[in-house]
């Protein structure tokens, strides 16, 4: 496994664990005076996921697959 893919896999597992945020379960505080903390955390989580995938597509892109895909034009297409 390439180092970038290994790092991406580890970060993915960490993000999956962080999704559980048990520490926010009964926290009714408001962020910016209108966002319940449980919602603010997960909205931030969505943005973090986007940044994570941006980094994955930058550093762990499977360019070998693109080369392999171009290798044959055998077609069963209709």
Partner 1 sequence: MTPIYIILAYLGLLLIFALGSKKFFRGTSADYFVASRSIGPFMLLMSVFGTTMTAFALVGSTGKAFELGVGTYGLMASSSGLIHAACFFVIGIRLWAIGKRHGFVTQIQFFRGRFESNGFGYLLFPILVLLVIPYLLIGVIGAGKTMMGLTGPKGPKPGLFPELFEATNGAIPPWITGAVICLVVLGYVFAGGSRAAAWANTFQTLVFMAMGILAFTMISNKLGGLGPAIEQAKASHLVRTESGHAGVSPVTFLTYMFIPLSVGMFPHLFQHWLTARSAKSFKLTVVAHPICIAIVWVPCVLIGIWATGVLPPDATPGAVLAKMIGILVKDPVIVGLVTAGILAAIMSSLDSQFLCLGTMFTNDIVLHGSKRQFSDKQIMFIARGFIVGIVALTYLLSLLLFDKNVFDLAVWCFSGFAALTPLVLAALYWRRATKAGAYASVIATAGSWFIFFAMSGFGGEFTVFGGIMPVAICWLAGAVAMIGVSLATKPPSAESVARFFP
Residues at the interface with partner 1 (CB under 8 A)? 12, 15-16, 19-22, 24-28, 30, 33-36, 38-39, 41-43, 45-47, 49-50, 52-54, 56-57, 61-62, 64-66, 68-78
Smallest gap, in angstroms, from Cβ of residue 40 to partner 1?
A: 9
Contact call for residues 60 and 43 (beta carbons, < 8 A):
no
Smallest gap, in angstroms, from Cβ of residue 8 to partner 1?
A: 9
Long-range contacts of the stretch 6-10 (C-beta < 8 A, 24+): 7/60, 8/55, 8/56, 8/59, 8/60
């Amino acid at each position: 496994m390439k180092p970038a893919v290994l790092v991406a896999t580890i970060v993915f597992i960490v993000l999956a664990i962080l999704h559980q945020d048990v520490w926010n379960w009964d926290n009714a505080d408001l962020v910016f005076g209108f966002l319940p903390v449980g919602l603010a955390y997960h909205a931030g989580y969505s943005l973090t996921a986007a940044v994570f995938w941006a980094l994955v597509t930058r550093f762990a892109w499977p360019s070998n697959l693109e080369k392999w895909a171009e290798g044959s034009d055998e077609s069963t297409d209709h």
